[in-house]
Chain A
Amino acid sequence: MPGGAPPLKQNGSNGLPDDMVFSSIDFLFLFLPLFLLSQAFIPNRNLTFVLFSLFFYFVGEGWYTAVVAFSVAANYAFGILIGDARDAATRKRVLAASVAVNLSLLVFFKYAGFLAHSLFGAAPDSWIMQIHLPLGISFFTFHAISYLVDIYRRDARAERSFVNLSLYMLMFPQLIAGPILRFHTVAGHLKRRVVTARHVYYGLTLFCFGLGQKVLLADTLAGVADPLFARADTLSQATAWLAVVCYTLQIFFDFGGYSTMAIGLGWVAGFHFPQNFNYPYISQSITEFWRRWHMSLSRWFRDYLYIPLGGNRNGPLATYRNLMIVFLLCGLWHGAAWTFVLWGAYHGLLLVVERLGMERLLERSPRVLRHAYTLLAVMIGWVFFRAADIGQAGSLLAKMFFLDGTVDADVATVMTGEETAALVAGVLFSMPLARFVTRRLMAVPAPRPWPRGVAGWRYAAGTVVAAVVLVAASLKIFSGAYSPFIYFRF
């Protein structure tokens, strides 16, 4: 059975990535300051934002920028057609056609090779297997569908300004890895927004915290997880668990860090992006986990797939079917590989089992047991998610749960001091303790509406801590430590 995570985009021969990423020197010290200055001084901020976003994409994708440009142009036209349609039947037909066009684009670029290989045994060197996957296509396709459906449902009006729609779909902070914005949540900001000093403070502080999560925690933990996963078949039980624990934290701080940076940049430009992660590892059931993990994706699937399928309105069996459909597609959305399909099916199945009665059982269980169950279930899921193929996943799970006589390593000696520190910090910062501290001491994140009379020392404390994190992350970036964001491949 073919499968496995798609390989990360190959770095160039000089060891640098093809794409501009938030944690690279060119972004942090050239693109970002120029963008900040443009937002401060160039009057037409939306157009400037679009041009910066196109350049951001063009740097990594080159002429494939035409794909995203085509998507914007087509959806601009579709939106107006849906908005102007006189009757419901026409609106529905145009919506169906436009969603089909968007999904065709996604299927062609992302799944054609996978399908051809799985169904017809296409050779790895055949043209269909060589189709380039444009960066962020899963994200901008979902943005487009959200836009069209919101117009269809009359939750928003068709955007008449091509620049504004381009900005919604191309905005570089969230263009290639989310969070997924639903059109009606940002439509107002596209037309009216005033950036204040508090917005800038909040945005830049969040950006620094996100950068720290990515560079100082996720990248360091990757230094443990990557080599251990690479030799999964030779690990002892202890090191197999270590690999999975480190990856569990790595993916959270990698994706959560990226989302935090994107949200921060959004604030700096006057956009209030929704929260994407809410301490998912403190969940006490898988149902709760999905309310806290990649919340923008969960909301998208709920609003645009689960509820249209009938949600939980047509009885238990239909609900279970809908959950399985949603999570199979959620898995496939993450990557064209059987490991992702398996990961999605696994989570769908857990949700069904919880609805079948396990949730009630959990409610009567001690809190620690509920928490242990959820973490264990999530970590098993990450094995499928991270493994190169199903064989590697099976091998690692066997190592985790069945002693095979291998006593390879004292776990502590596998890790350097830096990695141990990152592991401890990762555990601490994956709990709400971090939010308690930052909110109390630094006014981050700010409760809404913005509080009056926040003491100046709290802003000063936030600024100092953010600056320290920025300097620490920059030192590591300068020293050449680099790894691409995990979610870029989706």
Chain B
Amino acid sequence: MIGMTARARLITTLVALVLVAPVAGIRLQDTERLERFHTRRLAAWPEPAAFVDPPAAFRAARAWLTDRAWPTIAATNAYKRFLYFVLGSPPAHKLTIGLDGQVFLNSWNETEPDVLLESLCVRAHGADAGRGLSRSLGELATFSREIATPVDVIVVPTTATLYAERLPPSVSRRLREGCAAVAAGRSALRDVQVPAGVRYLYLYDALRPFLADPAFYPRNNWHASGKSLAVLRDTWLAAAGLPAVVDERIEAVDQPAEMLLMSGVADPQPAYAVRNAHVRFDAARDAAFRAAVGDLFTNPAFPSHVYLNDRPPVDASLLIVSDSFGQLAAEVFAGAFAEVTQVNTNDLPLGNAAELVARARALHRVDRIVLLFQEGGVDRAINYGRVLRRAQ
């Protein structure tokens, strides 16, 4: 006889009902909120034809389920908060907690640890990058002459090199030594041959003196923000012969640490906010810009900003073509210019870069173009020279 007692059946049923709740609760989930949480489109249910290859089809079905299981967001955030606040551990594999609690971004994703550090500490500062950038600057100088518009290239250092001494021993020695070498002044980005007709700045030395102040370049941020951007801007303006005195206030504030916030952990840290009463975001002009260039991007949600300044020290219009570092920089840079249009080109196919610049120039007056990237994205500055020059 094979059987189950009534009490066993009752317990088994109750446990089964509890266990199935995450699947039953899928209908409670808001798809848009989930997509924002995962920062990608949710996995699709496999087509019936996909079941010709059962493991692949079931894997797709598993991805569909895993993306939507309830309560993914609350559970993940609870776990990450526990990791960070109770165990002092990084809440994601792509984060590294360094000495003195410094948080570093080590990768763009959870499955390839340290690939970003490889780029920041080694590849971006190698001889190949230096040569490539020199060549690109030559091409950008030609491009600048042909469109009769100044083109400047700004490379922004990141916390990996600025706070290299805080990288922990869990990061391989090769990477730590790479970043330490940059901090000691050994980087091909410093020795780039800059041809006439283009301006290039690697702003490491401009930021380094301020680093004792933890709020200057907030340590647990990936992006430069606040006062560090003001210093970047002023250093660049001085180099460009545009000595502008910007009418702004710099206030000490507490802000959630950016890299922890990505993992749902809100941990305030000291920072500076740059306040400028003359600068405002112009939604209408931004919408017009997005309408003009939107088809060039692979992701329709590409970030862009248009800021206007009603009392500009420099009466000129600036176009910032950047990675995500330009998003916060745009408002601070707008303190010096009458108009700043900034676009994040992370979702722009390289081949569309020239068309982007052409459409931006056709839409508004562009007196000056800045290509602004973090140091790990220097390869983009290298490639832009080629594609912009060829497009002319």
Contacts and interface: CB of A to CB of B under 8 A. Distances in A.
A476 B91 CA distance: 11
A419 interface: yes
B11 A476 contact: no
A20 B90 CA distance: 28
Contacts of B87: 416-418, 421
- Taking residues whose C-beta sits less than 8 angstroms from the other chain, chain B's interface range is 35 or more
B80 A59 contact: no
Given A46-B2, A416-B89, A416-B97, 17 more contacts: A14-B59, A16-B62, A16-B63, A26-B62, A39-B12, A195-B3, A195-B8, A196-B5, A201-B11, A231-B172, A417-B89, A418-B89, A421-B87, A475-B82, A479-B75, A479-B76, A479-B80
Contacts of B21: 29
Contacts of B169: 239, 408-410, 413-414
Nearest to A18: B55
A32 interface: yes
Contact of A475 (B17, B59, B79, B174): B79
A478 interface: yes
Contacts of A19: 55
Given A33-B16, A196-B5, A234-B173, A59 B79 contact: no
B1 to A, nearest CB: 6
Contacts of A18: 55, 59
Interface string B68-88: 010110011011101100111
Tell me the dominant secondary structure on chain B's binding face: helix
B2 A193 contact: yes
Q: Using C-beta atoms within 8 Å of the partner chain, give the interface range for chain A.
A: 35 or more
A196 B4 CA distance: 6
Contacts of A305: none
Given A36-B15, A199-B8, A63 B54 contact: yes
A2 interface: no
Contacts of A400: none
B129 to A, nearest CB: 24
Interface in B53-70: 53-56, 58-63, 65-66, 69
Given A46-B2, A194-B4, A16 B12 contact: no
A475 B75 contact: yes
Interface string A52-70: 0000001111110000000
Contact of B9 (A16, A32, A41, A416): A41
The 5 A-B residue pairs with the shortest CB-CB distance, nearest first, are: A409-B169, A417-B87, A417-B88, A62-B54, A416-B89
Contact of A36 (B3, B16, B79): B16
16 contacts: A15-B110, A16-B63, A29-B21, A29-B69, A30-B65, A33-B17, A33-B19, A34-B16, A39-B4, A193-B2, A194-B1, A194-B5, A204-B15, A418-B87, A475-B75, A480-B110
Contacts of B8: 40, 195-197, 199-200
A416 to B, nearest CB: 4
Contacts of A449: none
Interface in A1-31: 12, 14-20, 24-26, 28-30
Nearest to A36: B16
A480 B63 CA distance: 11
B392 interface: no
Contacts of A196: 5, 7-8
B135 to A, nearest CB: 34
A37 interface: yes
A381 B60 CA distance: 38
Contacts, number: 170
B69 A37 contact: no
A20 B55 CA distance: 10
Nearest to B25: A29
A45 interface: yes
Contacts of A413: 99, 168-170
Contacts of A24: 62, 66
B250 interface: no
A59 B12 contact: no
Interface string B273-292: 00000000000000000000
B99 A234 contact: no
Contacts of A409: 169-170
A205 to B, nearest CB: 11
A303 B59 CA distance: 39
A26 B110 contact: no
B49 interface: no
A474 interface: yes
A268 interface: yes
A235 B226 CA distance: 40
Nearest to A192: B1
Contacts of B12: 36-37, 39-40, 200, 268
A344 to B, nearest CB: 31
Interface in B201-226: none
A126 to B, nearest CB: 23
A178 to B, nearest CB: 22
A415 interface: yes
A478 B75 contact: yes
Contacts of A280: none
A267 to B, nearest CB: 11
A227 interface: yes
Nearest to A194: B3
B113 interface: yes
B65 A26 contact: yes
A210 interface: no
A419 B89 contact: yes
Which of B4, B76, B78 has the most A CB atoms < 10 Å from its CB? B4
